[in-house]
């Protein structure tokens, strides 16, 4: 008989994907204000409805745990304390190696997928 605890320990933790809508200055924009195609783009591989705090995102980036980022860039400026500017120490390499692999236009909103 298999021990279910052993199987769970043997599985590798899945690297998280992050999806969010941002303005040009880095402030979060509510996804509900986006066109339906842009909302579907954001829900592609990342968890639906998961909104991570700036501190949690900084922890994930500092631990080099993020595999994919999906961002819908909304053409406006909001500013203020809600921008994602939480500092974090970079990994030993000193740089996070993400590259844009796909861009999609939804009217005036630009969807970009960044991957390692």
pLDDT of residue 15: 64
Q: What is the pLDDT of residues 81-110, one digit of tens each?
A: 666 666 667 666 667 778 999 999 999 999
The two structure tokens encoding residue 88: 């974090």
Q: Which of helix, strand or coil describes residue 90?
A: coil
pLDDT of residue 11: 45
Q: Taking the complete model, does pTM exceed 0.75, yes or no? A: no
**How far apart are the C-alpha atoms of 21 and 70, rounded to whole Å?**
8
Q: 107 in the Ramachandran plot: left (φ > 0), alpha (ψ -120 to 50) or beta?
A: left
pLDDT of residue 104: 95
**Does residue 74 contact residue 21 with C-beta atoms inside 8 Å?**
yes
Stretches where the chain sits below pLDDT 70 are 1-15, 45-50, 79-88, 90-94
47: DSSP letter: P
């Amino acid at each position: 008989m298999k021990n279910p605890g052993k199987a769970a320990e043997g599985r590798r933790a899945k690297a998280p994907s992050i999806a969010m809508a941002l303005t040009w200055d880095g402030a979060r924009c509510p996804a509900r204000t986006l066109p339906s195609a842009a909302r579907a783009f954001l829900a592609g591989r990342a968890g639906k409805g998961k909104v991570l705090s700036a501190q949690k995102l900084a922890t994930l980036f500092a631990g080099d745990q993020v595999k994919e980022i999906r961002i819908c860039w909304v053409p406006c400026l909001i500013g203020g304390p809600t921008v994602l500017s939480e500092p974090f120490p970079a990994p030993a390499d000193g740089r996070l190696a993400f590259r844009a692999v796909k861009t999609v236009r939804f009217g005036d909103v630009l969807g970009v997928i960044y991957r390692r």
